[in-house]
Copies of this chain bind each other. A is one copy, B any other.
Amino acid sequence: MSERPIDALDRAKGKKVLVKLKNSQEVTGTLRALDLHLNLWLEDVEIQGKETKKKFRIILIRGDNILYASPV
């Protein structure tokens, strides 16, 4: 069966990913689950803004905020 774009991330489950948001913030964390809207469940997360860094144990990112995502 032909590969889907989402498989690029699906194969990274349990591994670290970098997520670039449309607002230009960068999120890194371990990918636990994802769906076709690109909603992402991440764990052990860092969010890097222009001057701030935040840490979370668990976050759910709403997919429509995402520019691109990359397995690290």
Contact = CB atoms under 8 A, between A and B. Distances in A.
A6 to B, nearest CB: 7
Copies in the complex: 7
Interface residues of A, number: 38
Contacts of A5: 33-35, 39-41, 60-61
B32 A67 contact: no
A interface SS class: strand
Interface string A19-37: 0011100010000111100
Interface in A1-28: 2-9, 21-23, 27
Pairs A-B, 5 closest by C-beta atoms: A5-B39, A8-B41, A5-B41, A3-B33, A8-B60
